[in-house]
Amino acid sequence: MSSLVARDISAWFGTHQVLDRVSLEMAAGEVTALIGPSGCGKSTFLRILNRMHELVPSAGLAGEVELDGEDIYERSRKLTDARKHIGMVFQKPNPFPAMSIYDNVVAGLKLTGVKAGKETKDELVQRCLTSAGLWNEVKDRLRSPGGGLSGGQQQRLCIARSLAVRPRVLLMDEPCSALDPTSTRVIEETIKELRQEVTIVIVTHNMQQAARVSQRCAFFLASQGTPGVIVEHGDTDAMFGEPRDQRTHDYVNGRFG
């Protein structure tokens, strides 16, 4: 179990500043939900947590991100290290469509240079698909293409693929926004199970979802023309029940956003 700490994170796209000195501790074994209206920097913040922000040519960054006390941006650390320890599940399911379900799960091993024999891979595929709540649905068709699964199943396959390299943290960028309510419920159950083995940070626009799956919450806001900041963060029940800031109260009660 690993904790992730962001300190004084500021971010830019060119000269446009999108985050201003954001600090947040994401505790081991908990689900931390990032909430707030569109355009307040939540997804940018999430991408900074595993060094994806720097893939954008004009992106700039200040501050530090520590995984168990070690700065993932330290010069001597390889980029692949951060990606291996901090996995990512995107808004739209993105399995490799022509690749089999089995090969989708083990794809991460190649990318991180891990060599494994057939028995190890078989075990890994079963473990990851089970953790992602998909094993019973696909165990008889592991050689079928991943692109043939339903949207909800594809998203769970992407979760299984992320888990294959044994990440310490799993980042999720609105993982249910493209899914129907039934698939959403299954993914939420999966998230609840997964926090036993991995620290989770999830961006969601769905307030009910944040309340259901997270133990802690951070409310991001960007006023007209100013970069995003965290207005309030803390225990999820407290933030939804008795927020300290009026803006949090208005947002969680659907008054804006």
> In percent, how much of the chain has pLDDT > 70?
100
Which backbone phi and psi does 10 adopt, to 5 degrees?
-120, 145
Specify the pLDDT at position 245: 97
Domains (range + CATH), the chain: 4-252 (3.40.50.300)
Would you state the pLDDT for residue 176?
96
pLDDT for 115: 84
Please tell me the predicted confidence (pLDDT) of residue 187: 95
Per-residue pLDDT reduced to its tens digit, 195-204? 999 999 999 9
Sheet of strand 70-71: strand arrangement = 16-26, 4-13, 59-67, 70-71
What the block records as the tokens of 115 is 């060599």
Residue pair 116/124 in contact (Cβ under 8 Å)? The answer is yes
pLDDT averaged over 10-residue windows placed end to end, the chain, 257 residues: 94 97 96 96 96 92 95 89 90 93 91 84 96 96 96 96 94 95 94 95 96 98 94 97 96 85
The pLDDT score that the predictor gives to residue 224 is: 86
pLDDT at 156: 96
Model confidence over 155-167: pLDDT tens digits?
999 999 999 989 9
